[in-house]
């Protein structure tokens, strides 16, 4: 009778161990999936902005103007090729060095990419999520309601001053 009682509960222990491993594996998969989404959600739009800046930095303004969605034969309304070149060569602004990405902010319908070259003002680009087209962004940050975790932790840790109110 001793051998019968020695096996009592062994099946339940194995079942609990399998359940524990399964739950931990599911939690791990969810965490990895959320991290991958968070890291890669803006990748196509960021790649498009980097391609555009690469063409501008290589002084290939015709290709960059085409990336903007315009051509010399069919210029964009209110943004002809001469004005485009003036904006991106830093004419009159003493641009020193290449254009680079300073920061990004993810909106629902577009990604705001803030770019700057030494000696120039910050330019905010909008890369549309639907067709990856480029344009100037309305602001350097998204104006829609959302959680701003980076600014929250930067402010808590004292890395940046709190934002100032804008004049209306």
Predicted confidence (pLDDT) per residue in 22-60, tens digit: 999 999 999 999 999 988 889 999 999 999 999 999 989
Q: Is 82 contained in some domain?
A: yes
Quick one: pLDDT at residue 148? Answer: 66
* Per-residue pLDDT, 165: 46
User: Is 148 a domain residue?
Assistant: yes
Question: Is 124 inside a domain boundary?
Answer: yes
pLDDT band for 167, please (50, 70, 90 cuts).
very low
Q: What is the pLDDT of residues 134-151, one digit of tens each?
A: 989 888 877 766 666 667
Predicted pLDDT at 33: 95
Is the pLDDT confidence value at 114 over 60? yes
Tell me what the pLDDT averaged over the chain comes to. Answer: 82
Quick check: is 123 in a domain?
A: yes
pTM, full prediction: 0.70
Total of domains in the chain: 1
Assess if residue 90 is contained within a domain. yes
Q: Is 147 part of any domain?
A: yes
Residue 9 lies in a domain: no
Domain membership flag for residue 98: yes
Q: Which domain holds residue 102?
A: 43-156
Residue with more model confidence, 88 or 5: 88
* CB 28, CB 95: distance < 8 Å: no
């Amino acid at each position: 009778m001793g051998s019968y009682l020695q096996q009592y509960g062994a099946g339940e222990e194995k079942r609990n161990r399998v359940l524990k491993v399964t739950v931990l594996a599911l939690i791990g998969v969810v965490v990895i999936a959320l991290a991958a989404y968070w890291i890669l959600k803006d990748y196509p739009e960021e790649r498009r902005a980097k391609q555009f800046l690469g063409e501008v930095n290589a002084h290939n303004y015709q290709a960059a103007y085409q990336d903007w969605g315009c051509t010399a034969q069919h210029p964009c309304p209110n943004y002809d090729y001469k004005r485009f070149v003036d904006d991106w060569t830093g004419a009159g602004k003493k641009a020193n060095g290449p254009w680079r990405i300073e920061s990004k902010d993810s909106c629902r319908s577009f990604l705001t990419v803030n770019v700057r070259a030494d000696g120039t003002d910050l330019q905010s680009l909008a890369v549309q999520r639907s067709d990856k087209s480029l344009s100037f962004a309305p602001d350097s940050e998204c104006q829609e309601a959302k959680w701003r975790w980076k600014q929250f932790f930067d402010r808590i840790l004292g890395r940046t001053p709190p934002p100032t109110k804008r004049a209306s």
